Chain A
């Protein structure tokens, strides 16, 4: 009996790990944008929703091959991220943070409304369901394993880009001192635009992974948007490494907590942990020094 219990616990831990990879990817784009531009995109999860609709529209409604639909959706959401910066964020770049929140929050409702007008409130799915995988007595979802692998690669590529390339170094530098960037020949507006497009591209990639597991509907952003935001705050807003760690911590609470109690209780435990952490370390687990 004991060993069966251990195996199910191990399964819960491993499933938590898989979930953590996906959550880490979800928080990466939001965190990157905040860390560099200092504006929180409240509507980040709605960009993912747009990406999921784009894949459904291309693949299910117009017969575009799935892989091509994925690539087009990523490009589209990246362009949407750049547009979001150019038209929405740039005019309020020097405004009060509350105004910035309200503006990006407004985009959340706008995108939800547009999705409802365009596609209705029905749940749409692309009709692709990957099978489960059994390892010994444990069972895992293949789509979660794929999501974990793709997320891990995307996070690693982003990390290398930020640390090895000139543009990546400029992205890290601009968050520390925006006004002197021109002295190095860097056009700050271009760096912001590129960062926003990257954040959008990551949202598009997340859409590809989520559309394999979930149906898309206009309010789907609400089911993981708050979670994404909490993970960023837990890790210290703008701290990419902190967000990465926090995603795995959160996922373990959800998965292992859900194993000992019920799935819904996993979320409750995770949120209680979040609130406790905010009392103990309001700046996040790994705070970004200011």
Chain B
């Protein structure tokens, strides 16, 4: 089967600093894939490059067979790629409802706004209760739900999640991973970046290990979870 997102030999960085070297990765439709690795490995940079928030210096990015390296960042979402950025990045002084509305900014998504809003509210009933509250006044877990909901409002084919568990209490982390598991069970295609390796490998199909900007290993999640190298280096067993 042809991959949905295909990344070939990608290099990217910030100014003179190169953060990604020759990264090759693919995500097929309906799959959930994780990129794991230590702090500073380039995981967030990879997602920023996929969303074109930073420019790539070499290699190619393709979505459904269309190369989009040269497109500006604001056109990436119309290819069907939505991102939940690191640290959630909600608009703190907009209501939950307005934050979700921003997710449906594209003309094509506006027509579906009401329908998708109901879908987000049924996925996260808490968001419906809080719809008129300023997003910045909610708890971290609620903000993460709102951020995921905002990305879903565009009706993406591929959802990018950057460290969704960061900074959340353990019980909240559980419920966020439960949501991710539920979404991939419902057929969403998900690419997730996580430091919480043990948890994320239990909810995704496949994973890539990224270290110092390079892919070091890849394979089915269960295989990586069982691998001695990964257990020793990242799971502390």
21 contacts between A and B (CB under 8 A): A166-B105, A169-B98, A170-B105, A172-B91, A173-B102, A176-B91, A176-B92, A176-B94, A179-B53, A180-B85, A182-B72, A182-B76, A182-B77, A183-B151, A184-B77, A184-B102, A184-B105, A185-B77, A185-B78, A186-B74, A188-B74
- Tell me, yes or no, whether A181 is within 8 Å of chain B by CB: yes
| Most chain A beta-carbon neighbours within 10 Å: one of B73, B101, B151, B154 | B73
Which of A176, A177, A183, A187 counts the most chain B CB atoms within 10 A? A183
Find chain B residues with CB under 8 A from A166 CB.
101, 104-105, 110
Find out whether the CB atom of A289 lies under 8 angstroms from the CB atom of B77.
no
Does A187 contact B85, Cβ atoms closer than 8 Å? no
In the complex, the 4 A-B pairs of residues with the closest C-beta atoms, listed nearest first: A182-B73, A182-B74, A185-B77, A185-B106
The contact of A170 among B51, B82, B85, B102, by CB within 8 Å, is: B102
Q: A188–B102 Cα gap in the complex (Å)? A: 13
Confirm or deny: B83 has a beta carbon within 8 angstroms of a beta carbon on chain A.
Answer: yes
- Is the CB–CB distance between B89 and A177 below 8 Å? yes
The reply to whether A173 and B94 contact each other, CB–CB distance below 8 Å, is yes
Docked complex Cα distance between A173 and B78 (Å): 20
Interfacial chain B residues near A183, Cβ < 8 Å: 51, 53, 73, 77, 82-83, 85, 151
- The count of residues in chain B whose C-beta lies closer than 8 Å to any C-beta of chain A is 30
Asked whether A177 and B77 contact (CB < 8 A) given A170-B102, A185-B106, the answer is: no
Question: Of the candidates B73, B91, B154, which one forms a contact with A177 in the assembled complex, judged by CB atoms under 8 Å apart?
Answer: B91
- Binary interface profile of B, 81-116, with partner A (CB < 8 Å = 1, else 0)? 011010001011110001001111110011000000
B94 close to A172 (CB less than 8 A): yes
A170 to B98, CA, bound (A): 9
Q: List, in ascending order, chain B residues with CB within 8 A of A176's CB.
A: 91-94
Residues in A lying within 8 Å of B, measured CB to CB: 166, 169-170, 172-173, 176-177, 179-188, 289
For window 45-66 of B, CB contacts with A under 8 Å fall at 51-53
Interface contact B51-A182, CB-CB below 8 Å:
yes
* Cβ contact within 8 Å between B101 and A169: yes
Complex partner residue of B94 from A169, A181, A182, CB under 8 angstroms: A169
The minimal Cβ–Cβ distance linking A203 to chain B, given in whole angstroms, is 26
- In the complex, the chain A residue whose C-beta lies closest to that of B89 is A180
- B51 & A184 in contact (Cβ 8 Å cutoff): no
Residues in B whose Cβ lies below 8 Å from that of A173 = 91, 94, 98, 102
Residues of A within 8 A of B52 (CB): 182
Q: Which residues of B contact A181 (CB under 8 A)?
A: 74
Instruction: Determine the distance from Cα of A111 to Cα of B35 in the docked complex, in whole angstroms.
Output: 56
List the B side residues contacting A172 at CB < 8 Å. Answer: 91, 93-94, 98
Residues on B with beta carbons closer than 8 Å to the beta carbon of A184:
77, 102-103, 105, 150, 154
> Which residues of the partner chain A approach B75 to less than 8 Å between Cβ atoms?
185
Q: In whole angstroms, what is the CA distance A185 to B75 when docked?
A: 6
A177 to B91 Cα, complex, angstroms: 7
Least CB distance from B90 to A in Å reads 8
Measured CA separation A183–B103 after assembly (Å): 8
Q: How far is the CA of A185 from the CA of B85 in the complex (A)?
A: 14
Of chain A, the residue at the smallest CB distance from B93 is A176
B106 adjacent to A182 (CB under 8 Å): no
Interfacial chain A residues near B89, Cβ < 8 Å: 177, 180
Q: Are B92 and A187 in contact (CB under 8 A)?
A: no
Interchain CA distance A106-B93 in the complex, whole Å: 34
User: Nearest CB to that of B87 among chain A residues?
Assistant: A180
Contacts of B150 in A (CB 8 A): 184
Q: Closest CB of chain A to B101's CB: distance in Å?
A: 6
Contact of A289 with B93 in the complex, beta carbons under 8 Å: yes
Rounded to whole Å, the gap between the CB of B232 and the closest CB of chain A is 36
A sample of 13 more A-B contacts (CB under 8 A), given A176-B93, A185-B106, A187-B74, is A170-B102, A170-B105, A172-B94, A182-B51, A182-B53, A182-B74, A182-B77, A183-B82, A184-B105, A186-B74, A186-B102, A186-B105, A187-B72
Which partner residue on chain A sits nearest B78 by CB separation? Answer: A185
A268 and B103 alpha carbons, distance in the complex (Å)? 49
| B53, closest chain A residue (CB) | A182
Could you say which of A179, A185, A188, A289 contacts B105, with CB atoms under 8 Å apart? A185
List of A residues within 8 angstroms of B106 by Cβ: 185
Q: In the assembled complex, how far is the CB of residue A235 from the closest CB belonging to chain B, in whole angstroms? A: 16
Minimal beta-carbon separation of B205 from chain A (angstroms):
25
What A residues does B104 contact at CB under 8 A? 166
In whole angstroms, how far apart are the Cα atoms of A198 and B56 in the complex? 35
Closest CB in chain A relative to B143 CB, distance in Å: 13
A169 to B110, CA, bound (A): 13
Choose among B53, B74, B76, B103 the residue with the greatest number of A CB atoms under 10 Å from its CB.
B74
CA distance A172 to B109 in the complex (A): 19
With the chains together, A184 CA to B82 CA distance in Å? 8
Q: How far is the CB of A188 from chain B (nearest CB, A)?
A: 8
